[in-house]
Amino acid sequence: MCLIAFALGRHPRYRLVLVANRDEYRSRPSDPARFWDDIPHLLAGRDRQAGGTWLGLTTGGRLAALTNYRDARQQVSDPPSRGSLVTAYLRDGSLTPARFHATLAASGSRYDGFNLLYGSLDGLHYFTNRGGSSGPVPPGIHALSNHLLDTAWPKVTAARQRLEALLEQPDPAVADLMGCLADPAPFGDHLLPDTGIGLERERLLSPLFIAGSTYGTRTTTLILADYDGRVTFVEQNHDLPGAPCRRFEVRMEDAGGG
């Protein structure tokens, strides 16, 4: 997952609105969103290579999402899969955000750079193993890519602005929300960060929607959670042009989710 825009407590109908693009190598096998056979309360896509996920939701109202932190100059030798962190939080309904934070702080250095959002529909926490500010996410409209939360990369700023504009509407359309991260236009070279990968690749990765031949945006996911415990989860698979969205309507067993 490489771009997430989300709003906490900023819309009269929805306590949480989250839209996310998953950017990945096109050759990496994955399964579409569904309830997992081995974790029946978990709704998520699945990375078939390592077994974890990039974004998921449980019927108890827990949510977690991951982005990689991009810095080619700081790599870990033989790291574990970062997607396992999302699964670990969503699998165990008794795991509190405070306990999970302690686990991440103790073991996070084993992984390549990552950003993790985790918590419930009522409140999210943020953790990064790359020295940023970790803790509860304040109410508002936020965005996260491959640096720290709300870093002013052009794609992050654009994602926040687009989501904010849509949330001025009393009932924003699902299609409009799904499309707010669909822009493949690159940003100017003078706006791009230097993450140690070279200017040509920075250009490739700069758009909200990445359309590279071997690496790009493979899915877009939308989560709409209202104040009565009803959640709409929509996934568009871009690997299959023209394929219909997968849509799930879920009634939370516990609207807060712990």
Residue 258 lies in a domain: no
- Convert 176-194 to b/e letters by CB count within 10 Å (16 or more is b): ebbbbbbeeebbeeeebbe
Sign of CA dihedral 112, 69, 45, 40: positive
Would you say residue 222 has pLDDT above 60?
yes
Q: CB 42: neighbour CB atoms within 10 A?
A: 22
How many domains would you assign to the chain? 1
Identity of the residue numbered 74 = Q
Q: What pLDDT was estimated at residue 217?
A: 98
The whole model's pTM is what? 0.96
Q: What pLDDT was estimated at residue 1?
A: 66
Q: Tell me what the mean pLDDT of segment 91-103 comes to.
A: 95
Q: Domain of 14: which CATH number? A: 3.60.60.10
Q: Tell me what the mean pLDDT of segment 84-89 comes to.
A: 98
Q: How confident is the model at residue 162 (pLDDT cuts 50, 70, 90)?
A: very high
Task: Determine the structural domain holding residue 246 and report its residue range.
Answer: 3-251
Rounded distance between C-alpha atoms, residue 19 and residue 38, angstroms: 26
Residue 256 lies in a domain: no
For the stretch 171-214, pLDDT in tens is: 999 999 999 999 999 999 999 999 999 999 999 999 999 999 99
Q: What pLDDT was estimated at residue 131?
A: 86
Rounded distance between C-alpha atoms, residue 258 and residue 247, angstroms: 24
Residue 257 lies in a domain: no
Rounded distance between C-alpha atoms, residue 124 and residue 138, angstroms: 8
Rounded distance between C-alpha atoms, residue 151 and residue 157, angstroms: 8
Would you say residue 258 has pLDDT above 90?
no
Residue 145 lies in a domain: yes
Percent above pLDDT 70 for the chain: 98
Q: What are phi and psi of 159, to 5 degrees?
A: -60, -45
Residue 197 lies in a domain: yes
For the stretch 6-21, pLDDT in tens is: 999 999 999 999 999 9
Instruction: Check: CB of residue 10 under 8 Å from CB of residue 168.
Output: no
Give the tokens for residue 233.
Answer: 């989860």
Residue 102 lies in a domain: yes
